Structure 1
């Protein structure tokens, strides 16, 4: 019979400031080189390799190759859920040298959260879709289905269906606002459409997103923000 899970081993892998900074950067959903993650963490690239090995051994990060370059990303959405949940309980900020983004402003307004939109923008979108009956009122971590695509924001972004994947929608706890934004297939579709249509842009270097002027106008027209 298996014993109790060894959560201490996972906590020890996360519980080092440089590794925590790397995991937060990887929450943008992209793949990063060890050198890029070393810069984020404020450490030498040679040191970053041992930290990344520790994260891989804990099952939190996986490595792939693009040509000869080794790239790292989170091992899966369950790791993103873990990091976001920890962030909700964590003190307000990392030490200054480990800050991947400004502590206020853009990061809190809109950010990438492993393939979906977090921050105030993500929270506002979730609230609008609940109000319009697109999704149910879900608690953090709960999953559900999309009840209708007949809604102005979804129509404006050309979202009329979702891939046959589970979950259709998941409520992700937003650490910066204490409520939920949307993950799952719907969250991914919204994020992709917002980027493709130019309503938001990725800011260089961190997870923060920039709401463009056309995007700001469209959000205002749709009752967001």
Structure 2
């Protein structure tokens, strides 16, 4: 049986729904009202759009008390959105348009729970060069070859819990190369945030590298 690509494409191919999917790329769960604000539509319109995205298998919803929260259905959806963003011109609502090359979204951002942007690419380059991970093509998976690395030691990453691939190469739409997803990518972002090396910027996926982060990363030959 042939896959029904058209249904998924039609669900994504509407500006408000595309804006919602990009916001959900931060890996968090969001209410319909919050996604309505991001997409620039009324809450009632947002609910209809989210229903369409759920029917297409792109978004799932869960109840949290009196609120209904929405998130991407899985990492494979994030892969599709990131790959489309690599091809697409900036035609989304202004708050979600790609920043200029020196802008915060391109410098560092969250990509479905892992580190992306120039900082994510820089980290991937160093870990590949030092033999921590293999040189994988976008979409390929692998394992961490060693945890004996100054960056991982500084971030307190000595093991990776949970199922799923330890390493997955994820195409970075803003730089045309791969950053690291999988459990390693998630651990890197979580540790960078916990250590205070990066902070989340309000209202989007962009991250801010703190002065302490710049110092520490610079000492490690990154950034």
TM-score, with structure 1 as normaliser: 0.96
Note if contact 1:101-1:208 (Cα within 8 Å) is conserved in structure 2.
Answer: no
Cα shift readout 1:86-116 (whole Å, capped 9, x = no counterpart): 111111x124x34336622000000000010
Q: Tell me the secondary structure at the aligned position of residue 99 of structure 1.
A: helix
| 2:196 equivalent to 1:195 | no
Equivalent residues in 2 for 1:107-146, closer than 5 Å: 107-146=105-144
One of 23, 38, 41 as aligned partner of 1:40: 38
Structure 2: gaps (5+ residues) = none
- Cα gap change, 1:44/1:98 in structure 2, threshold over 3 Å: closer, same or farther? farther
Structure 1: gaps (5+ residues) = none
Note if contact 1:62-1:73 (Cα within 8 Å) is conserved in structure 2.
Answer: yes
Tell me the matched-pair count.
221
Equivalent residues in 2 for 1:1-225, closer than 5 Å: 3-91=1-89, 93-95=90-92, 97-100=93-96, 103-104=99-100, 105-225=103-223
Cα distance in 1 for residues equivalent to 2:99 and 2:46: 23
Cα distance in 1 for residues equivalent to 2:88 and 2:147: 36
Cα distance in 1 for residues equivalent to 2:47 and 2:99: 27
Cα distance in 1 for residues equivalent to 2:202 and 2:44: 24
Kindly report the root-mean-square deviation, in angstroms, between the aligned alpha carbons of the 2 structures.
1.0
Q: Tell me the secondary structure at the aligned position of residue 9 of structure 1.
A: helix
Runs ≥4 in structure 1, deviation > 3 angstroms?
Answer: none
Note if contact 2:98-2:106 (Cα within 8 Å) is conserved in structure 1.
Answer: no
Cα shift readout 1:183-207 (whole Å, capped 9, x = no counterpart): 0010011011001110111111011
Q: Tell me the secondary structure at the aligned position of residue 158 of structure 1.
A: coil
Note if contact 1:115-1:191 (Cα within 8 Å) is conserved in structure 2.
Answer: yes
Cα distance in 2 for residues equivalent to 1:71 and 1:166: 24
- Cα gap change, 1:101/1:90 in structure 2, threshold over 3 Å: closer, same or farther? closer
Note if contact 1:122-1:181 (Cα within 8 Å) is conserved in structure 2.
Answer: yes
**1:121 offset after TM fit, Å?**
0.3
- Cα gap change, 1:189/1:60 in structure 2, threshold over 3 Å: closer, same or farther? same
